[in-house]
Amino acid sequence: MIEVVGIEDAGWASVPAREQDLVCRSRHLVGGARHLALVPEIEGQIRTPWPTPMRAQLPALFEQIGTEGVVVLASGDPLRSGVASTLIDLFGRETVRVHPSLSSETLARARMGWPAEETTVVTLVGRSVDRLRRHLDPRARLVVLCSDGSTPAEVAALLVQEGCGSSRLTAWWHLGGPKEGSRSGAARDWEVEPTPDLVVLAVEVDDLAAARSSSGPAPGRPEEAFDHDGQITKRDVRASALAHLRPTPGATLWDLGAGSGAVAIEWALAARCARAVALERDPGRAARIRANAARLGVPREVEVVEADHGALSPEGASVLDALPDPDAVFVGGGLTSELADLAWGRLRPGGRLVAHAVTLSAESVLVAAHQRHGGHLTRLSVEHATPLGPHLSWTPARAIVQWSAQKPAPPHEQGMS
């Protein structure tokens, strides 16, 4: 069993007696140089700092030292952007036992007087500052875990860029320790000079965030929220598609022939830890999807796979074979009978498939798929008021036929009445 002990910035004295005893009795202590230096010298104890690069070298390290009698030191809560998450991922939950202390996010909320249920925690540790964009809603309270002292200035610059320059920032460093300090100010006035590296940032987003075209969790963002070349599922139809796809936390979407990536991106924005694989054959559009995903705050949640049109046919099924089984599939156009059956076969039980058609030949494919797999056929017609001389007149968009279906669970997994 690998024991993982969290230590606050206050040092060894803040570690409870039980965990102190665990550390003192260990034969091998592993951690960062800063954490190892906090523990008194113990005769006969071996101490090893983290290897570099850490994650890649961890399996070899623990193969060498084993797990019996090993204690790992970490900051605060080791399961909040900490090493315990990595160890569990590598070695399994049954091999790791975590002993957390107060996390930096808890201390930051305590200093700000923010209830946990009214605060969102965003980690930028080892991640792009773009991840913050999805959380910039009016009056949101964010605790941002920073990579280092340069992160607060990067966050301030992003807020100004997004039109939220009046947002209030408070940087807290060395929380709970003798070197604790803070700096506050509006994003537009934030000093470029870095703070100390052990820093957490509290952000109070201003009301002007409501003017952002991507604000809020609901799908159906306007077309101008995405960079596109016209190959985009329009907002009204997109909102309907996502209503049928039903994004859920941790679920995976295949967006086949993604165009601008609007459906994949809105899927990722709609639920915590939801991810999407956007398959797009055009390199320019694929690059545009990546840029759109970064700009809307889901650069890691949307994976772009560049593949030609053959990838959507039986001859190109190897591309889909390499993808994880989806919880949902969206095809904005170009559905074939072969692709419908292939996607349906890979869809997880209970998963949903939505496909659109604008031509009669494509519509016939949807009708045939409906006959084989069931579901619903819907014809969507949208009209917008546009100028006609000095007046307004209704201008219809091209009608869309939508097929939506849910794959049934195996009989033995269905609920019993």
Q: What is the CA radius of gyration of the chain?
A: 26
Q: What is the CATH number of the domain that holds 363?
A: 3.40.50.150
- At 233, is the secondary structure helix, strand, or coil? coil
Q: Note whether residue 263 is domain-resident.
A: yes
Q: Note whether residue 54 is domain-resident.
A: yes
Q: What pLDDT is attached to residue 82? A: 87
Nearest to 32 by CA among 82, 99, 85: 82
Q: Note whether residue 42 is domain-resident.
A: yes
Strand runs labelled E in 8-119 = 28-31, 46-49, 70-75, 96-99
Looking at the fold, whether 244 and 359 belong to one and the same domain comes out as yes
Q: Which residues contact 118 (CB under 8 A, 6 or more apart)?
A: 141
Domain range for residue 344? 223-413
Looking at the fold, whether 97 and 112 belong to one and the same domain comes out as no
Q: 86, 102, 118: which is the final residue of a domain?
A: 102
Report CA 396 to chain centroid distance, whole Å: 36
Q: Which two tokens stand for residue 45?
A: 């104890």
Phi, psi angles (nearest 5°) of residue 66: 75, -170
Looking at the fold, whether 152 and 243 belong to one and the same domain comes out as no
**Per-position pLDDT tens, the chain of length 417:** 899 999 998 889 989 999 999 999 999 999 999 999 999 999 999 999 999 888 899 999 999 999 889 999 999 999 988 899 999 999 999 999 999 999 999 999 999 999 999 999 999 998 999 999 999 999 999 999 999 999 999 999 999 999 999 999 999 999 998 999 999 999 999 999 999 999 999 999 999 887 888 888 889 999 999 999 998 999 999 999 999 999 999 999 999 999 999 999 999 999 999 999 999 999 999 999 999 999 999 999 999 999 865 555 555 567 888 899 999 999 998 888 888 999 999 999 999 999 999 999 999 999 999 999 999 999 999 999 999 999 999 999 999 999 999 999 877 655 544
Q: How many CB atoms lie within 10 A of CB 1?
A: 11
Q: What is the CATH number of the domain that holds 41?
A: 3.40.1010.10
Q: 74, 102, 130: which is the final residue of a domain?
A: 102
Residues, the chain, total? 417
Is the CA virtual torsion 6, 8, 11, 16 positive or negative?
Answer: negative
Q: Note whether residue 218 is domain-resident.
A: no
Q: What pLDDT is attached to residue 217? A: 80
Q: Note whether residue 216 is domain-resident.
A: no
Q: What is the CATH number of the domain that holds 149?
A: 3.30.950.10
CA distance 168 to 24: 43
Number of domains composing the chain: 3
Q: Are 6 and 76 in contact (CB under 8 A)?
A: yes
Q: Are 28 and 69 in contact (CB under 8 A)?
A: yes
Q: What is the reported pTM?
A: 0.85
